[in-house]
Chains A and B, each alone.
Chain A
Amino acid sequence: MAESKPKPKIKKEAESMPKQKPEVRRKNFDEVALGYSEEQAKAEASRCLQCPKPQCRTGCPVEIDIPGFVKLFKEGKYEEAARKIKEKNSLPAVCGRVCPQEEQCQKFCIMGKVGEPVSIGRLERYLADWEREKGTAKDVEKPSPTGKKVAVVGAGPAGLTVAADLAKLGHKVVIFEALHLPGGVLVYGIPEFRLPKKIVMAEADYVQNLGAELKLGYLVGRIYTIPELLKDRGFDAVFIGTGAGLPAFMKLPGENLSGIYSANEFLIRVNLMKAYAFPFYDTPISIGKHVVVIGGGNVAMDSARSALRLGAEEVCIVYRRSREEMPARKEEIENAEEEGILCKFLANPLRFIGDEKGWVKAMECVCMELGPPDESGRRRPVPISGSEFTMDVDTVILAVGRTSNPIIQSTTEGLAVTKWGTIVADENGKTSIEGVYAGGDIVTGEATVISAMGAGKKSARAIHEYLMRRK
């Protein structure tokens, strides 16, 4: 008599992500999260219930068929599973690492109601890494050309998505990137230990394999304006994805002292220019013993953790609200604290004090308390008079936000712009000029990689329709 096997019970907890130990990783720039093993990935995938009405998909800005790829993976069809993701997402190895899945797909996962949601992002990462290491990513079908030409301005998450989607449809795509490497914020902003640059390069290569041409060192607005691209250079449409690349400053006394970096400068030196490998790479960085980072977002976390790895004795994040209001991902705050980053909440700088050589040596702050909520819905920080105090610092990193780059707006007549300098576009990326589309941070202001990719996806669809409608 055959014994009927009992149905295996589904684990309520997700497979945990193997990581470098905090005491080790705080001294190197290697990736912190090491990725699932095959066994772990299989175990995690087995937790997916294959819901008839999958809620996870509603949370994905680029519409990935999540149950579809998980099913293929469970069946052992790794290559097909990876392709299933790439049908919708051209940068899966990036998204698997930096997407805030807890706010998106995983937020809606039914398993989250009984325990932890399925780690969709980690599975996406596993498959994308598997495909890249196997080298199967290079085989792409070339569609028949439509004869239409599209200029994509900026090779960041939005631009690469638009370029990939339009190239897949047979349009001739030229990407104009102002920096000397593709990737935008993925390459200049997000540190190596969260997103290795070779992964970004591989994903940009994939977009080029699809047929998109990449021109590096072309600052549109200076070399060619948008009207010139349309009138003189033979482009039928333009997509603007120039991001939020301008650093905000605090307008405080002493802000121009040496040793005070914008987070953008600090991260560009460390990430894009690989200053952590100075002098083997030529770009220098100067890091002191006592580093403070002003701000509470992901950029502040990235800056603080980079400063620690560069050899600072002490790194302290100074944030004007309390921990609950910090905009950074929880996971990143935890990572930072594990590594030994200190946090000083409810404090705000008033001025920076320099030495006789113009180098910052101290920072005067004031303590804050939380008042009633402001327009962002968070409680407004209010200074407590008489609570001023001084901190000894020799490096300051200002991570207090980024705004849009004005070069394109100021050189494109007729392009509608908001009072914050972002470009006005509808939900499909259409701007005030015919044939000109925009998406990502240049439209929304500073947001996430995946929301920029989602905007890119919608714009690509709208551009395709526009091109095919137009004779």
Chain B
Amino acid sequence: MYEIVSKRELASKIKLFEVHAPEMAEKVKPGQFIIIIIDEKGERVPLTVAGRDASKGTIKFAFNEVGKTTKQLGCLKEGERIGNITGPLGNPSEIRNFGRVLCVAGGVMIAPMFFEAQALREAGNALTTVVGARIKDLLLFEKEMESLSDRFYVTTDDGSKGCKGLDFLKEILEKEKFDRCVAWGPVVMMKTVSDMTRPFAVRTIVTLTPIMVDGMGMCGVCRVTVGGKMKFGCVDGPEFDGHGVDFDELVNRQRMFLPEERLSSLLWETRGGCACGRK
């Protein structure tokens, strides 16, 4: 059992948990993920780690309340416990002094990108950072990300804040020479960024979030095609070379259980969820 030490609402339906997990707090590195299981009936859900505090013995992760499990998780209060957390899982990000790094983060993945960007900065890299969301109210960690960056950009899909969409990246890529790009976010965003950096030959690292069950190489549901080869997201990744990833296949595979996910979520809602939002 893992106690929730603090809970913050970062934006509508996006929450940041800090959980007491001293052994993981010592070990986890940026780029790695954990698998949470809320209770004995729960499913196993992978979440990218968004920070750690070894002295307090805590780890942090953010999540978007999109399905039954994340909604249920969002209802848990400070002091309550999560049944099981397995981690750290997956390979840590490669962190060293690359030179100039372009960090592009979208949606809930901005939270773990902050953890990653801190490490990249500490390793001596100069950072150009882009944070994006669908609308301005869903932007996270703007100040924190800006504080780490030499250049900082905001983008929204609807243009409600900063640039509209990702087209402006082309100008940035034309103006500046980057040694590496790290793009974490929704699949469509990572695909777009990878397509844009390809002509500039900037090595682009994406983090994939395929469906997972065990998260340690046993089930193979997270298989993705990278450079024409079958890879497992959990043990070979979660980071891959964005220029080799078959994103279209990934999108299809992520939809495999959509009807079941909808049913599960609907049942949760009709049963009144956890009723935590009620007066």
B20 at the interface (CB under 8 A from A): no
In the assembled complex, the Cα of A456 lies from the Cα of B120 at a distance in Å of 45
Are A286 and B260 within 8 A (Cβ)? yes
Cα(A278)–Cα(B259), bound, Å: 12
Q: Which residues of A contact B213 (CB under 8 A)?
A: 265, 268-269, 273, 283
B83, B221, B225, B263: the one within 8 Å of A180 (CB): B83
* Given contacts A258-B252, A273-B43, A284-B257, A179 and B24 within 8 Å (CB-CB): no
- Please state if A284 and B217 are interface contacts (CB–CB under 8 Å): no
A223 touches B219 (CB 8 A): no
Q: B261 contacts which chain A residues (CB < 8 A)?
A: 284
Q: Is B84 an interface residue (CB 8 A)?
A: yes
Residue A295 at the chain B interface, CB threshold 8 Å: no
In contact, B235 and A223 (Cβ under 8 angstroms): no
Flag if B41 contacts A282 (CB, 8 Å). yes
Give CA–CA (A282, B72) in the complex, Å: 11
CB-defined contacts of A222 to chain B, threshold 8 Å = 27, 32, 87-89
Residue of B27, B83, B253 near A256 (CB, 8 A) is B253
Q: A273-B213, A358-B252 are in contact. Are A180 and B219 (CB under 8 A)?
A: no
Q: Is B85 an interface residue (CB 8 A)?
A: yes
Does A249 lie within 8 Å of B220, measured CB to CB?
A: yes
Q: Which A residues from 181 to 225 make CB contacts under 8 A with B?
A: 188, 216-219, 222-224
Q: Are B41's CB and A219's CB within 8 A?
A: no
* Residues of chain B within 8 A of A217, CB atoms compared: 35, 84-87
Contact between B217 and A255 (Cβ–Cβ < 8 Å)?
no
Please measure, in the bound complex, the distance between the C-alpha atom of A273 and the C-alpha atom of B37, giving whole angstroms: 11
A239-283 toward B: CB 8 Å interface, digit per residue (1/0)? 000000111010100011111011011001100011000111111
Please pick, from B43, B217, B256, B267, the residue contacting A283 in the complex, using a CB distance under 8 A: B43
Q: In the complex the two chains form, is B84's CB within 8 Å of A216's CB? A: yes
Neighbour of B216 across the interface among A178, A265, A279, CB < 8 A? A178
CB pair B260–A245 under 8 Å, yes or no, is no
CB of A306 to closest CB in B, whole Å:
15
Which residues of the other chain, B, contact A284 by a CB distance below 8 angstroms? 43, 257, 260-261, 264
User: B27's contact among A223, A278, A286, by CB below 8 Å, is which?
Assistant: A223
Q: A223-B88, A284-B260 are in contact. Are A179 and B214 (CB under 8 A)?
A: yes
B195 within 8 A of A: no
Q: Does B249 contact A (CB under 8 A)?
A: yes
Give the Cβ gap from B160 to chain A, nearest Cβ, in Å. 33
Q: Closest CB of chain B to A335's CB: distance in Å?
A: 25
Q: Mask for B211-244, Cβ within 8 A of A = 1, else 0?
A: 0011011111101110000100001000000000
Tell me if A357 is interfacial: C-beta within 8 Å of chain B: yes
- Set B41, B83, B221: member contacting A281, Cβ < 8 A: B41
A407 in contact (CB, < 8 A):
yes
Instruction: Select from chain A the residue with minimum beta-carbon distance to B91.
Output: A222
* A256→B223 contact, CB < 8 A: yes
Q: A261 contacts B23, CB within 8 Å?
A: no
Chain B residue nearest to A222 in the complex (CB): B88
In angstroms, how far is the closest chain A Cβ from the Cβ of B172?
A: 34
Closest to A257 in B: B252
Interface centre among A178, A217, A259 (most CB of B within 10 A): A217
Query: Smallest CB–CB gap between B54 and chain A, Å?
Result: 14
Q: Which residues of chain B from 112 to 142 have a CB within 8 Å of any chain A CB?
A: none
Contacts of A448 in B (CB 8 A): none
Q: CB distance A279 to B267 under 8 Å?
A: yes
Q: Across the interface, do A286 and B68 meet the contact criterion of CB distance under 8 Å?
A: no
Among A219, A255, A258, A265, contact of B230 (Cβ-Cβ < 8 Å): A255
Residue B159 at the chain A interface, CB threshold 8 Å: no
Report how far A284 CA is from B23 CA in the complex, Å: 31
Residue-wise, chain B 30-49 has the 8 Å CB interface mask toward A (1 for contact) of 00100101000111100000
- Contact between B221 and A261 (Cβ–Cβ < 8 Å)? yes
A405 at the binding interface (Cβ < 8 Å): yes
Residue-by-residue, is A19-46 near B (CB-CB < 8 Å gives 1, otherwise 0)?
Answer: 0000000000000000000000000000
Which B residue sits closest to A255, measured CB to CB? B230
Residues of chain A within 8 A of B220, CB atoms compared: 246-247, 249, 262, 264-265
Map CB proximity to A onto B240-279 as digits: 1 under 8 Å, 0 otherwise.
0000000001001101110111011001000000000000
Near A by CB (< 8 A), chain B positions 4-60 give: 23-24, 27, 32, 35, 37, 41-44
The 7 A-B residue pairs whose C-beta atoms are closest, nearest first, are: A284-B260, A358-B252, A265-B219, A217-B86, A282-B43, A180-B84, A262-B220
22 A-B pairs with CB atoms under 8 Å apart are A178-B86, A188-B214, A223-B27, A223-B87, A251-B230, A256-B223, A256-B224, A261-B221, A264-B218, A264-B220, A265-B213, A265-B220, A273-B44, A273-B213, A281-B41, A286-B257, A286-B260, A358-B249, A358-B253, A405-B218, A406-B217, A406-B235
